[in-house]
Amino acid sequence: MRGKQAPKRKIDNDPKYNSPIVGKFINYVMQDGKKTTAQKIIYTAFDIITEQTKKPALEVFEKAIENVSPVLEVRSRRVGGANYQIPMQVRAERRQQLAFRWLLVATRSKKGKPMAEKLSAELLAASENTGDAIKKKQDVQRMAEANRAFAHFAR
């Protein structure tokens, strides 16, 4: 790593729920700088979740993020001319980033419904430990387990 690390910017809480996690998720959903559209998508999805489950949407959202967040992942490392996939623990910040990314990839891969409906369905599935985002997490965890023999290469 060269130079100094870029300073962390503070991300504003979202206006409706005043939650920093939702504020960050809005920024992940946002495309082409259209923040109000992203907010509309998320708030509509949250309304759908509340309607279907009769639970607070924020609770379901936080449970989904917690379920999708990986504990272990593999990182490539070159040792003596060979590349090894080394299992490593995931930092809390990266854990959240991966959860957001996997949820959105799973949501965007579905076709035929409005984004808010797809997002609410994926969040509900993730909160119940099912769905494509959970499958992705399990694949990553399985890969880390399979390469546990190379854990001694980690520093």
Q: Give the number of other Cβ atoms within 10 Å of residue 132's Cβ.
A: 18
Report how far residue 61's alpha carbon sits from residue 27's, in angstroms, rounded to the nearest whole number.
15
Cα distance between residue 132 and residue 5, in whole Å: 34
Residues across the chain? 155
The per-residue pLDDT for range 4-46, each reduced to its tens digit, is 999 999 999 999 999 999 999 999 999 999 999 999 999 999 9
| Residue 125 pLDDT > 90 | yes
Q: How many CB atoms neighbour CB 23 within 10 A? A: 19
Residue 86 binned pLDDT confidence (cut-offs 50, 70, 90): confident
Is the pLDDT assigned to residue 80 strictly greater than 80?
yes
**Structural domain spans, the chain:** 20-153
Q: Is 2.60.110.10 the CATH number for 20-153? A: no
